[in-house]
Amino acid sequence: MFRSISTAVVVTALCIGFSAHFNPAAAQDRRVPASPAELRLSYAPIVQRVQPAVVNVYAAKVVQNRNPLLDDPIFRRFFGGGQQQEQVQRSLGSGVIVDSSGLVVTNVHVIEGADQVKVSLSDKREFEAEIVLKDSRSDLAVLRLKDSHEKFPALEFTNSDELMVGDVVLAIGNPFGVGQTVTHGIISALARTQVGITDYQFFIQTDAPINPGNSGGALVDMNGRLAGINTAIYSRSGGSQGIGFAIPANMVRVVVASAKSGGKAVKRPWLGAKLQAVTPEIAESLGLKTPTGALVASVVPNGPAAKAGLKSSDLITGIDGQAVDDPNAFDYRFATRPLGGTAQIDVQRGSKPLKLTIALETAPDTGRNELVITTRSPFQGARISTITPAVADELHLDADTEGVVVTDIGDGTAAQNVGFQKGDIILSVNNQKIAKTSDLERAAKEQPRLWRIAVVRGGQQINVTLGG
């Protein structure tokens, strides 16, 4: 079972063959210890350098404790309306200072829904923090320390593509809220794509012990640079069982760059094609020795893929010289490419290898017209959007999908109580086709005796009838 680990900070560092003269700019020296004396070398210089940039993140959310008996009119009549009691829910996670101005990276799930966020530094000082950017697709959030007028210690990014299985790593954090703690291990796997935590399935796997509270913490290499952000563990008990997952630094870098540029959302390249995994059966039909690569299922007309010459049934095997094992690996590699340039894609078309150059540009997003339904109706509290190519890309819908999609649901709202979910596509309401958000907004105001709603969820159409 995969679990998020909101309750501390994690930092990982490579320390085999560590020299007493610590040089963060030097390349990593990958070798086995030459003598027993080398085994007694210390991680302390790296820890001392990294610790000040690793922080604790405290998030608080006020929720209403609602008494279900208040739904009973007889109860309300004899015992009064009563007051809804407020309760403060708190969560504890970790974060990493990535810019000396006070920018902090953590996980979205650490601060999701928070009314107040505080950051505690290693020297025990606390700062209020504002949320600069949340990127749910990568589960990364960027905070900024408020009322700060100093330069903070910050970690530099390493190139996470250069990490290797077997590299030693350190985890520095606050597991279970016991206080800042250091653990170490190795990178046990790279490019894990079947984890199911975020949209971008491409994780660094480590056996450095991390536990609840480590979410948002830093994974560092032996140069004291940020290699990844710890996000989840595989556990049957809720504690560390030697398998932890971190978001690679190259993805973190993209999110931080968007925050620094003032963006409220992360803009990434758009392929304009739907990919599928290569099964053993498909591999056999294509004459492949192994089931690897990303198979092109369809191509959007006039999109970047189509303009580059990519066609259905093409097999993508690499991008910019890096191998692609499956669609998740391609999505990650493509998403971390900088906008405005081009990428070279290795393609197998039949028995012929090709190299195609694709432009790195964002998906068209005009006409989204996102809004929240406020009218009393089954849709009240739902945030909806007209499906543009950008929305389809964000929600992993087919590029030719049309209509209106639910992008968020407010807690305790009518839409949530009815059972609507993020990603639901509203096809029609009382036999009226819903093509854009204004159509659904207008339909929600009609107040019929019965609501007949057609919804597509997970590719399946659901027809629902509700009382008015």
CB–CB of 189/163 below 8 Å? Answer: no
pLDDT of residue 5: 59
pLDDT of residue 11: 30
pLDDT in tens, 225-282: 999 998 877 656 565 556 888 899 999 999 999 999 888 788 899 999 999 999 999 9
273-359, CATH topology level: Pdz3 Domain (2.30.42)
CB–CB of 202/328 below 8 Å? Answer: yes
pLDDT in tens, 81-133: 555 556 666 778 899 999 999 999 999 988 888 888 999 998 889 999 999 99
pLDDT of residue 148: 82
Q: What is the pLDDT confidence band of residue 468, given thresholds at 50, 70 and 90?
A: low
What ranges do the domains of the chain cover? 1-263, 273-359, 371-467
Which of 135, 139, 167, 331 is catalytic? The answer is 139
Helix and strand totals (H; E) in the chain = 11, 26
Residue 439 bears catalytic tag: no
Domain pair 1-263 / 371-467, same fold = no
User: What CA–CA distance (Å, rounded) separates 245 from 306?
Assistant: 35
Say which residues have a Cβ less than 8 Å from residue 224's Cβ, sequence separation at least 6: 13, 24, 46, 49, 50, 155
Helix (H, G, I), strand (E, B) or coil at 138: coil
Q: Which residue has the higher pLDDT, 419 or 148?
A: 419
| Eight-state DSSP code of residue 115 | S
Helix (H, G, I), strand (E, B) or coil at 371: strand
Residue 184 bears catalytic tag: no
Q: Distance of CA 358 to CAs 271, 301, 413, Å?
A: 8, 14, 43
User: What CA–CA distance (Å, rounded) separates 214 from 107?
Assistant: 10
Which of 4, 109, 377, 424 is catalytic? The answer is 109
User: What CA–CA distance (Å, rounded) separates 318 from 437?
Assistant: 39
User: What CA–CA distance (Å, rounded) separates 68 from 412?
Assistant: 13
Q: How many residues does the chain have?
A: 468
Helix (H, G, I), strand (E, B) or coil at 87: strand
Q: Which CATH number does 1-263 carry?
A: 2.40.10.120
pLDDT in tens, 5-45: 543 333 322 222 233 333 444 445 667 777 877 666 788 88
Residue 109 bears catalytic tag: yes
Q: Which residue has the higher pLDDT, 413 or 80?
A: 413
| Eight-state DSSP code of residue 157 | B
Q: pTM of this prediction? A: 0.76
CB–CB of 28/158 below 8 Å? Answer: no
pLDDT of residue 393: 82
Q: What is the pLDDT confidence band of residue 433, given thresholds at 50, 70 and 90?
A: very high
**CATH architecture entry for 371-467:** Roll (2.30)
- Mean pLDDT of all residues in 316-330: 92
pLDDT in tens, 166-210: 888 888 877 676 667 788 888 888 876 666 666 677 788 888 777
| Average pLDDT of the chain to the nearest whole number | 82
DSSP 233-258: EE-SSSS--S-EEEEEHHHHHHHHHH
Tokens standing for 371? 């809004």
